Amino acid sequence: MHVDIRPLKQTDLSDLASLANNQKIWEDVRDYFPFPYTEKDAAWFINHSLEMAVNENFAITYNGDFCGVISANVQTDVYRKSAEMGYWIGEPFWGKGIATKAVKLITEYAFESLDVNRLFSSVFEYNLASMKVLEKNGFVKEGIFRKAIFKKEQMWDEHKYAKLV
């Protein structure tokens, strides 16, 4: 198994749109991630990523095939030494350890290239697989924000994880 992260490319458009257009993925991410997810949405995201001064959004590849997206977004103001990480893997690629390896790679990138000393991620209480991915990579649960998330027409806890350089 070979997992890598790389900058997004225009040729990722149809794979990105196809894999992201999945309600199961949408249920685990913030609402600004659209559902249904169209090729227009994919084009916007790829173009936005390519216009960034410092790359923060990456394609995840599995044996050379596009299989998801991972990001480390540097924060602003007093939080400028922190980056928020988010990721998703297309359903056909679930259960292969891809997210665990991708999180390892983005963590190395963030600490080596983004001038941050803290990487954090928020996980909805029902996304136990994502919590395991973070814990396998040495992220520590810093707290639980009770009923902080409104998703799937109900309130959920938000689990905050972080790793320091």
The tokens 């938000």 sit on which residue?
158
> How far is residue 156's CA from residue 5's CA, in Å, rounded to a whole number?
31
- CATH class belonging to 3-164: alpha beta
Residues 6+ apart with CB under 8 A from 28: 88, 124, 127, 130
Q: What is the pLDDT of residue 29?
A: 96
3-class secondary-structure state, position 32: coil
120-158: pLDDT as tens digits: 999 999 999 999 999 999 999 999 999 999 999 999 999
Q: Which of 2, 5, 107, 113 is nearest to 59 (CA)?
A: 5
DSSP state of 5: E
Q: Is 112 exposed, middle or buried (0-12, 13-18, 19+ CB in 10 A)?
A: exposed
Give the amino acid at 97.
Answer: G
3-class secondary-structure state, position 58: strand
Q: What is the pLDDT of residue 107?
A: 98
35-78: pLDDT as tens digits: 999 999 999 999 999 999 888 999 999 999 999 999 999 999 99
> How far is residue 56's CA from residue 121's CA, in Å, rounded to a whole number?
14
Tell me the whole-structure pTM to 2 decimals: 0.95
Hey, where are the domains in the chain? 3-164
76-126: pLDDT as tens digits: 999 999 999 999 999 999 999 999 999 999 999 999 999 999 999 999 999
Q: What is the pLDDT of residue 1?
A: 79
Structure tokens at 23: 């309600």
